[in-house]
Amino acid sequence: MAAAARPPPPAPGNFSSSSGAGSAGVVAYEGRVRTVPIVGRTASVEARDNPPPPEEAGADSDVAIFAVPGARVTSGPGAGPEASLGKGQTELELYLLESFELRRSSGGVAPIPLGVQRLISFLALRERSLHRTHVAASLWPDTTEDKARANLRSAVWRLAATGVDVLDITTTHMRLGDDVWVDVRDGTVQARRLIDPTCECGEEDLQDLVLGGELLTDWYDDWVLIERERLRQLRLHALEALCKRLADAGRYAEAVDAGLQAVACEPLRESAQAVLIDAHIAEGNTVEALRQYQSYQSLLWDELGVGPGPGLETVVAALRPT
């Protein structure tokens, strides 16, 4: 489903909303009228220049989320994504590798409260619209459903207070806007191209990986830990694929560098050690290949009391003089 055109963000001031149950509500922002879907409830909201926190509106007042200057309202519960834009083509750039940072393309870092950072990050890591109940339960799992929903409304209000417009919201769903570039998303696309053996990668893909660091290193929420491990595995596979592609192209110095990055990420990972050894062999550096193998062999024995797998042993055995 194509995403509906977004209305311009309302100016601060009075507005009103009313609807019948199950119908579309009419919302007026300083003389401008916007029809938004309000499902299964009768809503009447009168905003003030300094509206109350969402918690004061009551647990059943989800419509209050639409009274937020800067929150973009889309026309359906599953409003789909628009075509994603590349870095430099958007007004905002979101960085999640190492630490959270939301930068304006014109320069400067947007000041985002920590609780709101969690909401933005959660939505950025999922490239689809999510039901607000799911978002609330995931971000605040140790509280009641009503309290979690109130926390979500509060986070949206606090985001609006920063003047940063990054969310697309419907009556039931929310998502990160398509006009925000995200480093993790860009890096994921690049990594998948490298890993796919049927994909012909361009020069830009053979440069340093965008996935060059860990996800939100100082955060320990369960959903962050799961995504961090997923991206770690994706980065390892991408580095191994990059090492092989570069070696096949005769770019041995770059291939060895990519292989060393993979080994540094996980020294006990045999597939990483194998592509690095293969790169040394392809360059004709038999001694380097044997040295790397012996180092790995010693590490495995010291850490786990085992030796390398038979596949790697066969490769290295062919290098030794008979």
pLDDT 10s digits, 31-70: 332 333 333 333 333 333 344 455 444 444 454 454 444 4
Sequence ranges of the domains in the chain? 15-76+89-178, 183-317
**Residue 11: half-sphere exposure toward Cβ, Cα within 13 Å:** 4
Q: pLDDT digit string (tens) for 208-239?
A: 788 888 999 999 999 999 999 999 999 999 99
The Cα 81–Cα 276 span in angstroms is: 39
Pairing of strands 167-169, 72-73: parallel
How crowded is residue 153: how many other Cβ atoms within 10 Å of its Cβ? 21
- Amino acid residing at 171: T
Return the beta strands (E) in 38-146 as ranges: 44-46, 72-73, 92-95, 101-104, 130-131
What percent of the chain stands above pLDDT 90?
A: 61
DSSP at 109: B
Q: What is the CA radius of gyration of the chain?
A: 25
**pLDDT mean over 188-215:** 90
Put simply, whether the predicted model's pTM sits higher than 0.85 gets the answer no
Exposure letters 6-44 (e unless 16+ CB within 10 A, then b): bbebbebeebebebeeebebebebeeeebebbbbebebe
Q: Which CATH superfamily is domain 183-317 in?
A: Tetratricopeptide repeat domain (1.25.40.10)
Look at the domain 15-76+89-178 and name its fold.
Arc Repressor Mutant, subunit A (1.10.10)
pLDDT digits (tens, 9 = 90+) for 119-139: 999 999 998 999 999 999 999
DSSP for 50-73 reads SPPPGGGG-TT-GGGGGG-TTPEE
The answer to whether residue 84 scores a pLDDT higher than 50 is: yes
User: What stretch of H or E contains 259?
Assistant: helix 252-265
Helix, strand counts (H, E) of the chain = 9, 11
Residues, the chain: 322
